[in-house]
Amino acid sequence: MPLFYQQDINPTTRLAVWKIEEEATFFLKAVPLGREISHPHKRLQHLAGRYLLPFLFPDFPSKEIEIADTRKPFLPDEQYHFSISHCSQYAAAIVSSTERVGVDIEEITERVQKIQHKFLHPEERAFVHTYPADQQTRLLTLLWSCKEAMFKWWGYGDVDFSEVLRIEPFTLSDSGTIQARFVKNELNIPLLIRYRVMGGVCLAWGGTMSG
């Protein structure tokens, strides 16, 4: 079974990453296809992400998932809060029965260098440049993943990544905790983001959760 990573974050919140090695038929035995997807690999990613939801909580009602105008999947009765992400051969999901959550997984590539101005605040760019050049792609990918997880936690769209999603300086490692803040209009919400860097990918998850 290609379970890449799993963690019970607290008594009501669970996280998992799946390395996709199966055909679509494997996932379709367990979960429905949420929408028509013509591209074979994107279809596999979609199915693997949906597969993780009942994998984490066996009573997860996958057939009841709806899609908001912001493209965020949700359960109408909020029996569970959840977030899904995928990149390359990986799918990640986080599910909580008590609180909003967000997860993101990103492949570490040089491409992130070209878009950093779109998602980093000037103070965050200054922080990146305190690291040697050979560590900056890894750090930039992690920052991007953290902000994507924060965006998914928010769930309502209409966010300027560089101004609204703010990350405090931290010491880059293979895993750790990052203090962040969601700042929009009258809102100023502290968030806790946890991360792992493994197998050429960055995984970030969080919200207002503990553990």
Out of 49, 81, 104, a domain closes at: 104
The whole-number pLDDT of residue 38 equals: 85
What does DSSP assign to residue 125? Answer: H
Instruction: Reply yes or no on whether the pLDDT at 63 is more than 60.
Output: yes
Q: Rounded to whole angstroms, how far apart are CA atoms 83 and 96?
A: 9
Instruction: Reply yes or no on whether the pLDDT at 199 is more than 60.
Output: yes
Of 206, 205, 208, 197, residue with least CA distance to 140 = 197
The whole-number pLDDT of residue 70 equals: 86
Q: Are 95 and 13 contacting, i.e. CB atoms less than 8 angstroms apart?
A: yes
Q: Are 119 and 106 contacting, i.e. CB atoms less than 8 angstroms apart?
A: no
Domain that holds residue 29: 3-104
**10-19, 27-36, 181-190: which has the minimum mean pLDDT?**
27-36
Q: Rounded to whole angstroms, how far apart are CA atoms 66 and 85?
A: 16
Indicate which CATH number applies to the domain containing 197.
Answer: 3.90.470
113 and 74 in a single domain? The answer is no
Indicate the pTM of the whole model. 0.95
Q: Are 85 and 94 contacting, i.e. CB atoms less than 8 angstroms apart?
A: no
pLDDT level of residue 208 (50, 70, 90 thresholds)? confident
Out of 78, 104, 130, a domain closes at: 104
pLDDT tens per residue across span 67-119: 998 889 999 999 999 999 999 999 999 999 999 999 999 999 999 999 999 99
Q: Rounded to whole angstroms, how far apart are CA atoms 136 and 203?
A: 16
12 and 69 in a single domain? The answer is yes
Out of 64, 89, 104, a domain closes at: 104
127 and 141 in a single domain? The answer is yes
41 and 123 in a single domain? The answer is no
Indicate which CATH number applies to the domain containing 75.
Answer: 3.90.470.20
Q: How many domains would you assign to the chain?
A: 2
pLDDT level of residue 131 (50, 70, 90 thresholds)? very high
Q: Amino acid letter at 140?
A: L
What does DSSP assign to residue 82? Answer: E
Instruction: Reply yes or no on whether the pLDDT at 210 is more than 70.
Output: no
